[in-house]
Amino acid sequence: MVPRKSDRDVVTETNGRNAPPPMTGLNVIHRCDNYVVVDKRYDSRISGDFEHTVEKLLLQEHAAIFPCHRLDYATSGAMIWALNSEAAAKASKCFRRRNVIKLYLALVQGHIEGPTLEDLKASRWHGLQDPYRMLDWPIGPDEEHGFRMKVLIPSQGGKVSQTRMKVVSRGECCGKKASKVILQPETGRRHQLRVHMMKFGHPIIGDATYTDDFQSPRMMLHAWSLTFVNRSIHDTERKAGEKGASSDAMVLCGLKESDASFLAPDPLEAFYDRKDG
């Protein structure tokens, strides 16, 4: 799935929230012959008929550019772009086959009870392992709000949507109780993480589309890590701290094992005061 380029690619007005300045450059995480990985800024367009987009900045340095997946306007973090159509097709196949572990960090409203994640780094190569909470609610378009999604039963158009979730710590954000969580989407529905956390009762702080939180400086959702893996290795070899063998996904995309995991540094810590866990 690629970013939208239509009039539906809109965001909720933030009622006075300070908009970031126009993008003039990109933070490149990784670059090779076939791919470039950028740390997308929050509140930035990926592509489309807008003055400032990630795509336009990349085209200043590359003859062609192809998005391999998408991130919402308000979400920051790691995003992979291909430098040719063949590489784009290979990476997109990996995303469709779920050969990419996608991990997001979020600050959410309130304190979520339960154990906290001890080894954040190990989850990059193996995904979130038991115990974790599975947020399992089908999602479909909200016909009353054209841009939004909502939890719907299958007969009403809801599609299977699953998100693994673990608490990293509990603390405060903008003077209010908050939890830092790590999220691993098993499916790729639009706004999936935002809708699931809302349904769970702990909406993402600063989400001006699904809440009335216009005061927070940004939406506190960040695409922290992308790792190409062989799904069978990911599902069966779960030894913490050990990396899997060179995976089919790496070979398909021509990536070395050392270049198959991309990390976008966590910007949410600047807004978070950790209290425990």
The string of pLDDT tens digits covering residues 86-138 is 999 988 888 988 889 999 999 999 999 989 987 888 888 788 988 899 999 99
Report how far residue 52's alpha carbon sits from residue 246's, in angstroms, rounded to the nearest whole number. 38
Tally the residues of the chain: 277
User: Please, which pLDDT band fits residue 238 given cuts at 50, 70 and 90?
Assistant: very low
What is the rounded average pLDDT of the residues 26-37?
Answer: 92
- What architecture does CATH give domain 27-276? 2-Layer Sandwich (3.30)
Report DSSP state, residue 22: P
Question: Taking Cα atoms as reference points, which of 226, 189, 268, 191 lies closest to residue 37?
Answer: 226
- What letter does residue 45 receive in the DSSP assignment? B
Asked if 223 and 116 count as a contact pair (C-beta separation under 8 A), the reply is no
Catalytic-residue membership of 248? no
Catalytic entry in 39, 43, 72, 207: 72
